């Protein structure tokens, strides 16, 4: 077999397909954005058919760009936006509704209802998650309740539920494989992460028939083969992981205490806690980092809903910048005497606040405030939120080695030296940027390539990880503490009445 491995990275705003060669280097890329649908305030949807079409287009582009054919590809890995829900007809394969995206907040009142019934502790104990609209379970319950005939069809076993990975695998295999992996299952509010199985009691509470749910596999496993009609030859699907777990793998965070943070549309930090299923006291999530050879590795996760999306807002909403890449340069020109804070609660606040009703706000504006200060505030907001997550993780779990945390970073925002330096300054911790920034796709590719036997094992892959640049903290304690105090004040004034 060749060393070529294909990765499908199905994200929130675009789909990417990347062909890696036998040396784990990028050989070909295809990318396509797709439509974001906002039917009501706080609602976010995708058209599953458009996502499927984007996968076909980008994979074909990537294979062509690599100068190979599908016959040269030894394995396929899939990574995906997590928590996004698709329900489709088991016979026709057609979705019954648009996909409900992880950012969607329509089930906030249902989550509150479940909390009033004192059910959050049960859900958290079984799944490691909180009762928040972010997760898949309440989205699925909404579809079954609100799509005409859905509950009846589901009861008869005629509907399939899946996160995006499951839907894509179903389509890629011509309906032969109805499967997911442990990381995606762990984000549904329906999966018992200790027992590693769907939880019947939680399914009963959410009124979800078990027959709708896919089989759960290890992250590196046999997920079926693609139908040859799609790309010209069958390709074994041998690796699957949700995007943040795939990035953790791609960053080679295989040891307890290692931590990565991905700065894409949102920001997601994962701390590897090994075999320990750490119960957070700081409203972080306990989740499955990966499951390999039947052994589960857990993580603490902090989720920030708005990171790169704030830069998109600066570009598309405020027209403050022409290109996202301009943000660091403009922020560097901001007046250091003006302390402007942007709390980007455009879709509520994630960890550690979990306030779906909070909304964005800017504090500290004066007559002298201009685009430079607002852009700086948007970039700093990502850094402040990362500090909140790091503090919460340290409260919940300390690295037994006593070593200070070194944060490995990836995602679109990390290309900005200014932002990464400010991140190191506000974290008061080193930040490592890898040479390969495609860590999410690389993680999915490694799962598949190692399973196929054409890529290194875990130790060999970790050894191959290489740092592009380390950012060391350079801000003095007085300045840092003053800025952090201002941030906490801004957040406290942004929380909803219910939270505050």
Distances (CA, A) of 363 to 42, 161, 358: 23, 43, 15
Bridge partners (DSSP) of residue 444 are: none
Residue 394 pLDDT class (50, 70, 90 cuts): confident
User: 84 among the known binding-site residues?
Assistant: no
Phi and psi at residue 365, to the nearest 5° = -70, 140
Residue 224 assigned ligand-binding role: no
pLDDT-derived band at 323 (thresholds 50, 70, 90) equals confident
458 is in an annotated binding site: no
| Domain 252-434+466-499 indexed as CATH 3.40.50.10490 | no
Please indicate if the annotation marks 188 as binding a ligand. no
pLDDT at residue 355, as a whole number: 82
Q: Strand 431-434 vs strand 467-471: parallel, antiparallel, or unpaired?
A: antiparallel
Asked if the model's pLDDT at residue 285 lies above 70, the reply is yes
- pLDDT beyond 70 at 400: no
Note the pLDDT tens digit of each residue in 472-489. Answer: 999 999 999 999 999 999
395 is in an annotated binding site: no
Q: In this predicted model, which residue has the larger pLDDT, 305 or 430?
A: 430
312 labeled binding residue: yes
Given this chain, do its domains 5-244 and 252-434+466-499 carry the same CATH topology? yes
pLDDT tens for 19-50 read 999 999 999 999 999 988 999 988 999 999 99
Decide if 304 contacts 413 (C-beta within 8 A). no
Mean pLDDT for 177-197 is: 97
Partner residues linked to 5 by β-bridges: 20, 75
Q: Is the pLDDT of residue 148 over 70?
A: yes
pLDDT of 319 > 80? The answer is: yes
Q: Is 83 annotated as a binding residue?
A: yes
Domain boundaries, the chain: 5-244, 252-434+466-499
Tens-digit pLDDT profile for residues 336-369: 999 999 998 887 887 788 787 888 899 999 999 9
Flag whether 149 is marked binding: no
- Residue 82 is predicted with a pLDDT of 92
- The confidence score (pLDDT) of residue 51 equals 97
Does 162 appear as a known binding residue?
A: no
- For 42-79, the pLDDT digits (tens) are 899 999 999 999 999 999 999 999 999 999 999 999 99
Per-residue pLDDT at 433 exceeds 70: yes
pLDDT interval class at 326 (50, 70, 90):
confident
Maximum mean pLDDT: which of 324-338, 378-392, 403-417, 443-457: 443-457
447 pLDDT more than 70: yes
The reply to whether 82 sits in an annotated binding site is yes
Task: Identify the pLDDT of residue 497.
Answer: 59
pLDDT at 401 over 60: no
Reported as a single tens digit per residue, the pLDDT across 200-248 is 999 999 999 999 999 999 999 999 999 999 999 999 999 999 999 999 9
Whether 371 has a pLDDT exceeding 80, the answer reads yes
Distance between CA 219 and CA 77 in Å, rounded?
9
Q: What is the pTM of this model?
A: 0.88
Nearest of 422, 386, 379, 419 to residue 405 by alpha carbon: 386
Rounded to whole angstroms, how far apart are CA atoms 432 and 204? 45
Over residues 416-423, the mean pLDDT reads 93
Q: Which CATH architecture has domain 5-244?
A: 2-Layer Sandwich (3.30)
Instruction: Please tell me whether 16 is known to bind a ligand.
Output: yes
């Amino acid at each position: 077999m060749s060393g070529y491995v294909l990765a499908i990275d199905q994200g929130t705003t675009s789909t990417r397909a990347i062909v890696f060669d036998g040396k784990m280097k990028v050989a070909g890329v295809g990318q396509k954005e797709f439509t974001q649908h906002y039917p009501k305030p706080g609602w976010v949807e995708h058209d599953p058919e458009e996502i499927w079409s984007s996968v076909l287009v980008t994979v074909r582009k990537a294979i062509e760009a690599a100068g190979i054919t599908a016959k040269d590809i030894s394995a396929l890995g899939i990574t995906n936006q997590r928590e996004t829900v698709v329900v489709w007809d088991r016979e026709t394969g057609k979705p019954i509704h648009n996909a409900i995206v992880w950012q969607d907040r329509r089930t906030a009142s249902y989550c509150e209802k479940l909390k009033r019934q004192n059910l959050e502790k049960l859900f958290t104990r079984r799944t490691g998650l909180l009762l928040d609209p972010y997760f898949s379970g309440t989205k699925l319950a909404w579809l079954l309740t609100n799509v005409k005939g859905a509950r009846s069809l589901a009861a008869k076993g005629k509907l399939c539920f899946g996160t995006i990975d499951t839907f894509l695998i179903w389509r890629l295999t011509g309906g032969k494989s109805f499967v997911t992996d442990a990381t995606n299952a762990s984000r549904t509010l329906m999966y018992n992460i200790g027992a590693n199985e769907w939880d019947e009691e939680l399914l009963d509470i959410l009124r979800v028939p078990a027959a709708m749910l896919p089989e759960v596999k290890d992250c590196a496993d046999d997920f079926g083969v693609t139908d040859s009609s799609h790309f010209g030859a069958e390709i074994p699907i041998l690796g699957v992981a949700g995007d943040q777990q795939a990035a953790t793998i791609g960053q080679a965070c295989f040891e307890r205490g290692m931590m990565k943070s991905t700065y894409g549309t949102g920001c997601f930090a994962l701390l590897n806690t090994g075999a320990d299923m750490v119960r957070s006291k700081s409203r972080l999530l306990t989740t499955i980092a990966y499951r390999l050879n039947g052994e589960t590795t857990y993580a603490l996760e902090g989720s920030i809903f708005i990171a790169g999306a704030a830069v998109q807002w600066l570009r598309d909403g405020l027209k403050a910048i022409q290109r996202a890449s301009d943000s660091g340069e403009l922020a560097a020109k901001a007046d250091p005497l003006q302390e402007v804070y942007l709390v980007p609660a455009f879709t509520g606040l994630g960890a550690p606040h979990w306030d779906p009703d909070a909304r964005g706000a800017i504090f500290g504006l004066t007559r002298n405030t201009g685009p430079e200060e607002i852009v700086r505030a948007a970039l700093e907001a990502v850094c402040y939120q990362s500090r909140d997550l790091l503090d919460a993780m340290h409260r919940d779990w300390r690295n037994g080695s006593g070593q200070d945390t070194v944060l490995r970073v990836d995602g679109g925002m990390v290309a900005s030296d200014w932002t990464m330096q400010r991140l190191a300054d506000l974290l008061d911790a080193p930040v490592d940027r890898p040479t390969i920034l495609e860590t999410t796709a690389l993680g999915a590719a490694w799962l598949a390539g190692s399973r196929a036997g054409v890529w290194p094992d875990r130790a060999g892959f970790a050894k191959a990880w290489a740092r592009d640049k380390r950012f060391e903290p350079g801000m003095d304690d007085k300045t840092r503490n003053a800025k952090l105090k201002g941030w906490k004040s801004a957040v406290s004034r942004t929380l909803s009445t219910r939270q505050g």
